[in-house]
Every structure is written in structure tokens, then in C-alpha cells.
Structure 1
Amino acid sequence: MNKILITADRVITKSADQVINDGAVLVDGGLIAAVGTAAELETSVDASVTRLRCPGATAMPGLIDCHVHLAFDASADPVRAVTHADPAELVAAMADRAGRMLAAGVTTVRDLGDRDALTVKLRSSIDSGAAIGPRILAATAPLTSRGGHCGFLGGEVATDDDIRTQIARNAADGADLIKVMASGGALTPTGPRMWQSQFSPEQLRLIVEESARLGLEVAAHAHGTDTIANCVTAGVRTIEHCSWRTTEGISYDPEIARRIAEKDIAVCRCVSGDWRMFLEQLGAERAKALSETIIGMRKDGVRFIAGTDAGVPGAQFGDYVGMLEFFANLGFSHSEIIDMATTSSAHALGLADTGSLAPGMRADIIIIDGNPLTGLDSLRRIQHVFVAGMQVPRVASERGRQRTDAYEAHP
């Protein structure tokens, strides 16, 4: 890969409040070599280096989606779609979905549940250059109880020995982390209810300890208030959904939230682009309670990270910005939201080489038309995407259909 100098009206470097006006980023191979003003870099960089000039645009770190399911198809019945698919056909479909996410500016995804470690195979294809896609962190088969949430993915366990064996199997398959279905979930109506725990506190501690022994963090699917508390005590790295459910409804516990913040456990609320319809289906009272728990967690210092749950019914792979707009609707500032989608997510996922633009960092960069600090919708207007320094073919979206047009930057 050759050097390329990107200039734009704005360069968002680290936190969203760190902006270089009339800025520039020098990419050298897969890394960022320099960041500064266009005036500084234009004069210091050799004239033979390719220039990519982007007037009216913003260059910023690539977006991170911390919760996706590439094996699911976002249809009304994703379970059947994944369980009945031929492995080769499913991997091809997963590659297409990953490509759609990359086209939407998402340069890193964390996949939190697939079958047969197919996401690891896709990750290998992308890493080798055989396929184009975002960086993938794969959890492979989530640990769940017998007959529990998403048991069809192959991670059912019952005893402590089962737990150790499944974690070892996932690690051997190439998992980057361990996912545990600590509570029930909506996709598996025959299993425990969403607020019910699937594992004892002792089992959750075992899962965290055994994962740590193999160098892996744990992401916990947890809806129930009691389950959330058990996950915090066990020491999971992230809590997915974190919806504070009980048999009576939603029951937010500020003390547990403060413990989440103190232990630097990140919360991925898993919001898809169809959140308006979801809130309507909940009804005014329940929607208000849901919103109040998120606002309460924010007030109590909880760190949020960005995740769409792409692949479950209605959660499309190309609508990352819809999730961000949900938080804006709750009063989160644009800079706070951009940090959630970049630096905060990178921190929670243990990725020290992405999430910001600085010398030595991995060159995951997006260039968008407009300024996301004043309008999140500009994040839908992707001009260019770089992943690990590779300039991705331009992809334009039209009514949900993707088309790819090759292009080259002109000096």
C-alpha cells in the first residue's frame, strides 16, 4: 500500500471535541503516519505522494459496532435462516452483510454469536485480503443453558465441566472473546424469560475466570436486574442490552449502575435503526421507563458503547446511524455520541490501535460529506472508507441496495 495524504475541512482526531480545522491525515501502509493541519502536511509531505482532497468533508475514525450477528439475516425468522443454511452459502451471505457495514462506515464489528465458528472463517478471509470487510472480533458460539437463549448456535452447557469445555472449544476455534447468554432472550421464546437468569452467580464467575485464563474477556447478554447484578459481581467486560427487567416490569438500580461505572464495565444497549417502531410497540409507559433507565445510567457514570444487534428481526446491516440517532433523541450530545461510536467502543473492546486518528494508529478512517458534530445524518453520506490503510471501493446505497464503483484518488 502506498502513501496517501487526505485533506478535509475537519479532522476529528481522538475525542470528538478534538478537531483540526482544515486538517490532514497521512496514511502510510496500514498505519497513520501523521495528523495535522493541511498547511503543515502539504508542505512536509513529498509532492509525489497521492493527495485525496475532500472539501466540505470530515475525516474521522472509522465507526465501531460492538454487537452484530453476521450469521442472521434480519428477517422475521433469522433462526431458521441460520440453522437451515448451507455453511458455504451462509459464509457468502455473511461476507455480503459485512461489506454493507463497511460501506456504512463501520470499520470494526464485534460478532456476538454465530454457528460453526463461521465468523472466524470470514475474519480469516478478510485478514488475508481474499475478501474486503471490516475488522471482525468473533465470539463464536455463545454459552447458554440447555434449551436456553440461542442454543441453536451450539453453545449449550449445564455443568461446570461443560462450561470449561465450551470455552476451550471456542478459544481453539479462534474466538476473540466469550459471549454468555446470562439471561433469556426474545429470539428463544421456549427458553427462560428475558428477566430470568440462565446461570448461577458461581457459574458466571467460573465463565469469567476460565475465559481470563485463556486471555479472553466476556460479553454478557443480560436483561434481568438480578442477572445484571450477578454479571457485575462476576467481572464481565461488557453488558449487552442491560434493560433492567423483572417480572413486574423495569426496575433500575442506581447502586448496581454505579458499580458498573466503578468497574469500567461498558454497556451496549443494542439499538437498531427501527427504534421508533420498537418504542411505539412498547407503549408510552414502557417506552418512558426504558428511556429513563438509559438516562439514569448516564447520570450514574455508565460508559455506553455503540451496537445495533444487526441481524435480529428488523435490525438491518446498513443502518448504523439510526442507532446513534436514538441516543440523540434522549439528549446525548453529538460529540458524546461520536465518542461512543469510536473511542469508547475501542476502549471497551480492548483495541488500543483504533478508535482515534494519531500517528502509529491503524488507519481505519472514514470521510463523510458534512459535519457530524452538527448533524448526525452526515454520517450517512460516506465519501471514502479506509480499513487498515486500504482504500475501499466506493459503495453507494440506493433504497437499501448496494452497488460498487471503483475509483481512484487524484493527486
Structure 2
Amino acid sequence: MAEIYVADRLVSAGEELSVNQDAVRVVDGRIEAVGMASELVAADPEASVTRFAGYSIMPGLINSHVHLGGDCSKSSFATLCSGTPDEVQSLIRTNARSCLRAGCTSVRDLGDSGGYVARFRDSTDDADSVRPRVLSAGVPLTITDGHCWYLGGVADSAAEIRSAIDRAAGDVDLIKIMAGGGYVTSEGPTPFDAQYSTELLRVAVEHAAQYGLQVAAHAHGTEPIVRCIEAGVSTIEHCGWRSGPGKRDQNEDAVRQMARQGTAAGDTTPAVWRDIAKYVTTPDYKFGSQLTWMAESDVEILIGTDSGVPGTEFDQFKLSMELYEELGFTRGKIIDMLTRRAARSLGIGHETGDLCAGLAADLLVVSGNPLDNLDALHRPHRVIVKGVAYSQDDLVSI
């Protein structure tokens, strides 16, 4: 049976649709039609009709950078690497539901171990069915003793990189490579150091492309970022443009090349970004200003939270959005970045991210008008994934 959802307004691509469009008809988990409620009901009088007075309907949000196997503690991957399968599965299941509570109907998981996230993505177990759409990168590639080496993805040479991609290709949705060091591997290279040469990064990009896979590269520092751009990766995660602690190094030529070739910047702003900003903001640098700079250079920005690593959360996505509003991005732009534009950059625009007939029914029903106040996006009234609707109580009680 068809479901028709009616609200005060529809919001798509960061804009309110015309007053003649206030309803969405869903059949078998997909959007069959978008239009005027009276016409959709007249065309299908047997449909179930649910009206949400005072609410808006919009596409579900996309969190472009999470780690479903992380527990947000200082030893965030301890359970993933040494827990029992049941413990890991329970952790991933809990985190996925928290993503749904935040309105995220799609998430891109950028690194786990042992193939847990891919198995969760594909599980037919009823307990695992309450989940967002999941894109899994599997085990990230890294160098010996490099960033997150303990996840099991060490690949030092071109042959080892190709072999690792060959092994992963049948299970993953993309490839993740640690182009630079990071913060959660204290003994390895610093976040400002490069781990792979441009040539080896290009090997990863070209070999992944043979399987139709994008490459997401972890890079905080300017040197690894520039190498990633030259190698042609699809997204650069963190993308902080720094050459050392407190040292911003924004390369104008590189960012223009980044925009020309369509490499997106995967931002990772956790809910606690205001606390972080207190320690890194200086008279010469405003926290997040590199995001404005990249946007002004026409670089596509993907909003993520890095949820799962220390000090992050899965169900506070709206707090991360506040950084963009503070930086001067309009609410419409932010919503578009979190839906349609993210879907296109991640290669799933044919499936989700918009209110269009034929797409999956990944929808939110939110109080008021999110174009007036982003608070509407916190704890949506209904979260609908592939046509299955959940209330906040549903997601807590399951």
C-alpha cells in the first residue's frame, strides 16, 4: 500500500518547494510522486495518509565521515580490535541507531577492521535492520607503524596497495587511504606529515578505479593534501591545510586545482568544536576559516563528524552544522550540502539526497521550517529510511 506524507512544506536542495507541493507518495520504499496532497490522494484513494501539521518534509541528512566501530573513548577502537564479535556488532548497531536519531539516513564509514561494518551493512538479521544507508570503506590502507596501523591495513608498496584493494573490492563501497599521520596513533607520523608519495597515492586511485571505487584520503597537513590533489583522490578527509601546530598553510594553486578536478573536502567537525576552537583560534586564524576559503574557491565540502573517535558523538549532528552557520553559510546552503550535494559527491545521488520521484524514500519530518532555524534538524519527529518510518521513541526503545 502507498503511503502519502503531508506537511506544511517540502524542503529540497536547500529551498522550499512551491506552495503547490506539500506531499510525498511512497511505494515500496521509494518516492513515487511529489506534489499537491489533494491530487496525490485523489490519484490513489486507497493510500494511507499521514498529515504533519506544523512540520516540514525534507531529504534525510548524510554524515560523510563516521566510524561505526568506534566507541568515542580515548581507546576508541579497542572494542573493534579486541572485543568479541557480539560486542563489536552491538556497538555498531547502537552507533548506527544514534546516527538515525540525528536525522542521518545515510552515513559513510571511513575505517573499521575485520569487515564488521560491511557485514552490518549487508545483514538480514532483524536486529540489524534499523540502520541508515551505509557506505563502507573497510580497513584503511596505511604504512608500517603509520596512522591506524592496528586496524590491519598496512600496505607499503605499489604491489601491496594493489593487492589490498583487490582483496577489499568485493566488499567495500570505496577505498580509504591514510595519506598523512593522525591524532589517534601517538607513535606514528604527526598529522602534518605525509605517509605516502604522490606516486603511491596515484596507484591507489588508478587501481580502485578499475573496480569503480572512489578513494577517500586522510590528510590534515598541507603536504599530504597537495599530494592527494595531484594523485586525483575523490575526497580529502579533515583537509586542515596546516604545516605544523598553529601553522596554517593554504596553497592557492592547489585549492584551485582541487576545485577544477572535483576533489571534495571532507570536513570533520565534532559536536564539541567550540571547545576545540578555544585552543586553536589565534589573532591570525579563526577556527574553520579554511572551510570558507575552500568554499569561496568552489571546492565541494562534505560535512562529517568523525564520530567514533575520542570526544565525538553520533547523535549530535546539528551541533556540527552550527559551525557553518557561524562561518556565514546560509541555512539553505548547509541543508543542500548535507543532502543533495553530499549524495552527488559520494556517488549515491541516483539513489538518495533529494525529493524526486524514483529516489529512495529517505526522508525527515521536522518541526517548523529548517530554513528558519536549524534546531529543527535536531531529533527529527520522524526519520524515514527506504520507506520505513521511525519516531525518536522507536529509536531509543529498539
Q: What is the TM-score of this pair, normalised by structure 2?
A: 0.95
Letter in 2 for 1:44: A
Could you say which residue in structure 1 is the equivalent of 2:278?
Answer: 280
Could you say which residue in structure 2 is the equivalent of 1:335?
Answer: 332
Could you say which residue in structure 2 is the equivalent of 1:41?
Answer: 40
Letter in 2 for 1:347: R
The answer to whether the Cα contact below 8 Å between 2:10 and 2:17 also exists between their aligned partners in 1 is: yes
Query: How far off its partner does 1:88 sit?
Result: 2.1
Letter in 1 for 2:41: E
Could you say which residue in structure 1 is the equivalent of 2:364?
Answer: 366
Rounded to whole Å, the distance in 1 between the matches of 2:124 and 2:344 is: 23
Rounded to whole Å, the distance in 2 between the matches of 1:341 and 1:73 is: 24
The answer to which of 184-193 and 274-283 deviates more is: 274-283
Could you say which residue in structure 2 is the equivalent of 1:223?
Answer: 220
Could you say which residue in structure 2 is the equivalent of 1:408?
Answer: none
Rounded to whole Å, the distance in 2 between the matches of 1:284 and 1:230 is: 27
Rounded to whole Å, the distance in 2 between the matches of 1:286 and 1:72 is: 34
Number of residues of Structure 1 aligned to a counterpart in Structure 2: 395
Could you say which residue in structure 1 is the equivalent of 2:152?
Answer: 154
The answer to whether the Cα contact below 8 Å between 2:59 and 2:339 also exists between their aligned partners in 1 is: yes
For the pair 1:403 / 2:396, whether they are aligned, the reply is: yes
For the pair 1:108 / 2:101, whether they are aligned, the reply is: no
Could you say which residue in structure 2 is the equivalent of 1:308?
Answer: 305
For the pair 1:63 / 2:61, whether they are aligned, the reply is: yes
Could you say which residue in structure 2 is the equivalent of 1:75?
Answer: 73
Query: How far off its partner does 1:287 sit?
Result: 5.2
Letter in 2 for 1:150: C
Change (3 A) 1:349 1:127: farther
Change (3 A) 1:65 1:286: farther
Change (3 A) 1:294 1:37: same
Rounded to whole Å, the distance in 2 between the matches of 1:100 and 1:267 is: 25
Rounded to whole Å, the distance in 1 between the matches of 2:18 and 2:28 is: 23
What is the identity percentage for the equivalent residue pairs of Structure 1 and Structure 2? 37
* Deviation sequence 1:104-131 (CA, Å, 0-9, x none): 2111111000010100110012698852
Query: How far off its partner does 1:286 sit?
Result: 7.0
Could you say which residue in structure 1 is the equivalent of 2:342?
Answer: 345
The answer to whether the Cα contact below 8 Å between 2:120 and 2:128 also exists between their aligned partners in 1 is: no
Equivalent residue in structure 2 for 1:99, among 97, 100, 119: 97
* Deviation sequence 1:28-47 (CA, Å, 0-9, x none): 1111010012233233231x
Rounded to whole Å, the distance in 2 between the matches of 1:391 and 1:378 is: 18
- Gaps in structure 1 of 5+ consecutive residues: 406-411
Could you say which residue in structure 1 is the equivalent of 2:353?
Answer: 355
Query: How far off its partner does 1:168 sit?
Result: 1.2
- Gaps in structure 2 of 5+ consecutive residues: none
Query: How far off its partner does 1:103 sit?
Result: 2.0
Q: What is the TM-score of this pair, normalised by structure 1?
A: 0.92
Letter in 2 for 1:343: R
